[in-house]
């Protein structure tokens, strides 16, 4: 699901003012989406489009994750393996 941004947040993300976003909406440059109460909002997809980022590239990026597991002594070696597998699954 796309994250939703208020015009002020979105403007800061792209380096533009709310007034510019309103003007772009009127001129059709970047049409704002509207809530049922007619408030403007923007999505992550709008951000990628305006910044010229292809979404495939973003979705295919791999983020490195570090996991840490430990046990108190050698007798718990099997517990360590279980911890590692659980953390791999979670991460």
Q: Is the pLDDT of residue 14 over 90?
A: yes
* Active-site annotation, residues: 72
| DSSP characters over 12-36 | HHHT--HHHHHHHHHHTSSPPEE-T
Domains and CATH numbers, the chain: 4-60 (1.10.1660.10), 63-91 (no CATH)
Q: Is the pLDDT of residue 80 over 70?
A: yes
> Which tokens in the block code for residue 18?
């709310």
- The candidate with the shortest Cα–Cα distance to 41, out of 81, 86, 10, is 10
User: Residue 87 and residue 75: Cα distance in Å, rounded?
Assistant: 20
pLDDT of residue 1: 59
State pLDDT tens for residues 30-78: 999 999 999 999 999 999 999 888 766 555 555 677 888 888 888 888 8
For residue 30, the number of C-alpha atoms closer than 13 Å in the C-beta half-sphere is 24
């Amino acid at each position: 699901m796309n994250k939703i941004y208020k015009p002020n947040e979105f403007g800061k993300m792209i380096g533009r003012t709310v007034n510019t976003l309103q003007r772009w909406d009127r001129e059709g440059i970047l049409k704002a989406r509207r809530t049922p109460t007619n408030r403007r909002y923007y999505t992550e997809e709008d951000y990628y489009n305006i910044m010229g980022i292809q979404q495939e590239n973003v979705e295919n990026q791999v983020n490195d994750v570090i996991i840490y597991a430990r046990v108190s002594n050698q007798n718990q070696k099997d517990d360590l393996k279980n911890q590692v597998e659980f953390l791999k699954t979670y991460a």
